[in-house]
Structure 1
Amino acid sequence: MEVNPKVIRRTKIVATVGPASESEDLIARLIGAGVNVFRLNFSHGTTEKHVKVAERIRKQASIAGQYVGILADLQGPKIRVGAFRNGSIELDVGDRFRLDLELEDDAGDIRGVGVDYAELCDNVVRGDTLLLDDGRIRLRADDVEASAVECTVLVGGQLSSRKGINRLGGGLAAPALTAKDLTDIDSLVEVNPDFVAISFVSDAEDIFQARGRLEQLNLKPAIIAKIERAEVVGDESILHAVLTAADGVMVARGDLGVEVGDAQLIGIQKELITQARKLDRVVITATQMMESMINSPMPTRAEVFDVANAVLDGTDAVMLSAETAVGNYPVEVVSAMADAALGAERQRVAKTSKYRLDTAFSNAQETIAMSAIYAANHYDNVRGIACLTESGTTPRLMSRLSSGLPIFALSHLSTTLQQLALCRGVVPLFFDADAFDPNSVDSRAIEFLLDGGFLSKGDSILLTKGTVLGTAGSTNIMKILPAY
């Protein structure tokens, strides 16, 4: 079964914007290379800068004739050491080192450093392993005092100001939404993102709080829960509640890997992707996917395998962080990631699915969505699925099943189309069904896809819609139509 070459990659790419990629020219080139969603990292930059970058993204996406999403990633409660007098220190194995809550912020030296986490001494016990700078420095807690922790260096190296602290196994948990995050949420009225990522989520209440704040501002972005805490993946009920409360998840392998250990991370990644898809949530796999390309024009073979593995696991999107934010080859890394994803998608296992074949459906919309993918996968002449959609629910449900066929989401709502830019296999396209007589909508949709080069004459298209067009959640019709 061949698919029109105009639509070849199903897995979406999220790219972080930074100094290396924030110009109009670079944004345009990144869209051309295959970026589907741009990430604005609220750990850096001002509101004014994020607003300007968002405007550039919308402008360049419009010029390219594509729907490109914007993801606002909130900083969250990253626990950090304070500053060192000389910027950094060098720690050797066996050195004594003090984490001191009462030390002035910029008074750190070879003996110790301040910490911005008031609960440190309540959450650490003797014998704990503390991980600094994403695990590059390891300390053993030897003595926990009222306002400081005396440690021995287990793994040394250079430690610079403001680096993060984790505890092996988790347990250093501050509220997910900080005062800065709440201020940043208020600023999103000007950015108007399609997605908001909540960092260091600890339970479903963090999602409810964020959603409530956004709704007060009349904003309805999809909320992405970043899974970074060992205690969340270690408790099935908490994880299920978080996945259910959010619209999607990010497998944030940086802090999560530090807390659970890299050896456990691959299994957790696979399970998170599986659970997210079962609950019809989108999932992003992130962190260090092609990190060597910060300074190299070519990825390592291991990085290509890493991307391909996530694709075969069923992730909706793979994400680039420093690679596009500050790297020397932002366009090249997007192209390399697109090639790696496409290579994995050509494998037979990525095109077939037995998911839900033995499960009862809960409503007509879900029944149509699942039936359409099954029919398309088993009828050789079908070249794609066209969904007339308002809310985007039907194409989103379809995207949970593996297929080698494109899902054309046809809608007149830009908010729906931009959010669908993150869903695996979905091609968001503007189509105003209300502009046509209801009896001619089917033929007009096929004509639209033919004119756009998405279909060729003689192909068949599987079309879904509702009896009453323009009503969200009403999809109850499926047809197989010839393209003339």
Structure 2
Amino acid sequence: MSRATKIVATLGPASSSPEILAQMIRAGVDVVRLNFSHGKAQDHIDRATLVREVARQAGREVAIMADLQGPKIRVGKFDGGKTMLEPGQKFILDAAYNDLGNNDRVGLDYKQLPRDVKPGDTLLINDGLLRLTVDGVHGEEVHTTVVIGGELSNNKGINKAGGGLTAPALTAKDMEDIKTAMSFQCEYLAVSFPKNATDMEMARQLANVAGEPWRHKPHLIAKIERSEAIPMLEAILRASDGIMVARGDLAVEVGNAAVPALQKRMIRMAREMDKVVITATQMMESMIVNPVPTRAEVSDVANAVLDGTDAVMLSAETASGKYPVETITQMAAIALEAEAADDVTIETDFTNKHFGRIDQSIAMGALFTAHHLGCKAIIALTESGSTALWMSRHNIKVPIYGLTSGVLSQRKMTLYRNVRPLLMPAYTDRDTALAKAETLLVELGVLKPGDTYAITCGEPMGYPGGTNMLKVCRVD
């Protein structure tokens, strides 16, 4: 596989059969997303078991990302399931109303809304398709005027333009879902609507406690979808293992026009801070019903790849769409074409950079050396995967192979750009480990006699964070 950019695909009704899932994995899925906004705990456990088994049969390891629902900031249900709002009409969002909604008012799942808004605020419903202006707050009632109308159906989401809703990132449901996710040891846990680093630190503590019986600690992904998260981005990144550019809710809060520049900024900052980054939302949206993407979607995916994203993500396209396998195939082809046109800037990447750690310096040295010698591969013997992560933060045409003895590290590395994780037994003798690594890549057809490659490892062997050696070798 020559594709550097990874693909995250959401599992759902369209993709939960073993046959379709196997085709998706063979087509190029690297990480499977389980959306905890839908389904019960046992549903997710069963799907995780299915993913593990199908991946094993396909001869590939894929990571599982459990995506927490976060706070439900939604309207209630309507009599008949929906109503039609007309521009200029008055409409009440009533936190105390428990009956079915009508054309005058509807209840709220989010009972704090009357405390979070004031006259003049703009409320956006159903991803911004409906727009209401707040006229006033009377007790538990938020009185509004419809600015942009349309059909409003059950349980549609509410956003406040500019942000400011006080709902906590982690709900009671999320805390139970973390326990469920740890029971099948997901590699990645995505936290919805974090506002600051504290939200991520709390999620990590809960996940580590829940994972203790299995001695499991997942990597945490912060979904950037609140306007409050933008000024706190650096702190959130430090408290996380990566971020997701969650363009749907983020666009509703900050405005569609602001999102492209924010996307580029977030990808750049994540790479500079040695974190992973996923670009998500509506990337191939038309393929929910069409067998081919629009030209705009092709450009969207390609631009995310050129920006340096680790992964591009599919949601409804693979969860409920008509063409889940075809969507993955198209996305993989777009990524390959974009990567082929990308420039390598190793020298400028290192200008005025200082590396205070030996293992990080070795990783950077491997990149520089492999690029200038035209090596066929870079091999990182790594316990934790950190060396491969550091290498993957820089654009290089040479494929990086992360060789590890731990299945958890192997699966986590499936999300790292340009890294092919492989499982290899642990060896205490350095020369044996180097020889076995070369043999493995020769058997896989990556290397052949006469090829040069760079390899990094640590002495003594087997200690996370101990990479201290770089060697350039030629296959006999």
Provide TM-score, normalisation by structure 1.
0.95
Partner of 2:192: 199
Identity %: 48
The question of whether the paired residues in 2 share the 8 Å contact of 1:131 and 1:139 is answered with yes
Which has the larger displacement, 467-476 or 9-18? 467-476
Gaps of 5+ in 2: none
Partner of 1:142: 135
The question of whether the paired residues in 1 share the 8 Å contact of 2:72 and 2:110 is answered with no
Equivalent of 1:459 in 446, 451, 458: 451
Q: In 1, distance between residues paired with 2:107 and 2:411?
A: 43
TM-aligned CA deviation for residue 96 of structure 1: 1.2
TM-aligned CA deviation for residue 353 of structure 1: 6.4
Partner of 1:248: 242
Please say if 1:120 is aligned against 2:113.
Answer: yes
**Pair 57,353 (structure 1): closer, same or farther in 2 beyond 3 Å:** farther
Letter of the structure 2 residue corresponding to residue 224 of structure 1:
I
Q: Secondary structure at the match of 1:427?
A: strand
Partner of 1:232: 229
**Pair 258,350 (structure 1): closer, same or farther in 2 beyond 3 Å:** farther
The question of whether the paired residues in 1 share the 8 Å contact of 2:429 and 2:461 is answered with no
Letter of the structure 2 residue corresponding to residue 375 of structure 1:
T
Q: Secondary structure at the match of 1:355?
A: helix
Please say if 1:43 is aligned against 2:40.
Answer: no
**Pair 350,19 (structure 1): closer, same or farther in 2 beyond 3 Å:** farther
Partner of 2:317: 323
Equivalences for residues 58-207 of structure 1 within 5 A = 58-104=52-98, 106-207=99-200
Q: In 2, distance between residues paired with 1:326 and 1:443?
A: 46
The question of whether the paired residues in 2 share the 8 Å contact of 1:344 and 1:350 is answered with no
Equivalent of 2:416 in 423, 427, 440: 423
Q: In 2, distance between residues paired with 1:40 and 1:117?
A: 24
Q: In 2, distance between residues paired with 1:149 and 1:457?
A: 73
Partner of 1:450: 442
Between the two proteins, the alignment pairs up a number of residues equal to 472
Q: In 1, distance between residues paired with 2:54 and 2:192?
A: 28
Q: In 2, distance between residues paired with 1:304 and 1:189?
A: 36
Equivalent of 1:476 in 459, 468, 474: 468
Equivalences for residues 9-24 of structure 1 within 5 A = 9-24=3-18
The question of whether the paired residues in 2 share the 8 Å contact of 1:13 and 1:34 is answered with yes
Gaps of 5+ in 1: 1-6
The question of whether the paired residues in 1 share the 8 Å contact of 2:24 and 2:328 is answered with yes
Moved segments of 4+, more than 3 Å: 350-353
The question of whether the paired residues in 2 share the 8 Å contact of 1:411 and 1:433 is answered with yes
Q: In 2, distance between residues paired with 1:354 and 1:78?
A: 45
Q: Secondary structure at the match of 1:354?
A: helix
Letter of the structure 2 residue corresponding to residue 249 of structure 1:
I
The question of whether the paired residues in 2 share the 8 Å contact of 1:465 and 1:477 is answered with yes
Please say if 1:295 is aligned against 2:289.
Answer: yes
Provide TM-score, normalisation by structure 2.
0.97
Equivalent of 1:377 in 368, 371, 378: 371
**Pair 280,12 (structure 1): closer, same or farther in 2 beyond 3 Å:** same
Q: Secondary structure at the match of 2:348?
A: coil
TM-aligned CA deviation for residue 119 of structure 1: 2.0
Letter of the structure 2 residue corresponding to residue 179 of structure 1:
A
The question of whether the paired residues in 2 share the 8 Å contact of 1:353 and 1:402 is answered with no
Partner of 1:265: 259
Output the aligned Cα RMSD. Answer: 1.2
Partner of 1:314: 308
Q: In 2, distance between residues paired with 1:348 and 1:239?
A: 27
The question of whether the paired residues in 1 share the 8 Å contact of 2:94 and 2:107 is answered with yes
Give CA deviations for 1:182-239 in whole Å, capped at 9, x if unaligned: 1111122322100000000011111111111122121300000110100111x2xx22
Q: In 2, distance between residues paired with 1:433 and 1:187?
A: 31
The question of whether the paired residues in 2 share the 8 Å contact of 1:345 and 1:351 is answered with no
Q: Secondary structure at the match of 2:349?
A: coil
Q: In 2, distance between residues paired with 1:11 and 1:184?
A: 29
Equivalent of 1:440 in 410, 422, 432: 432
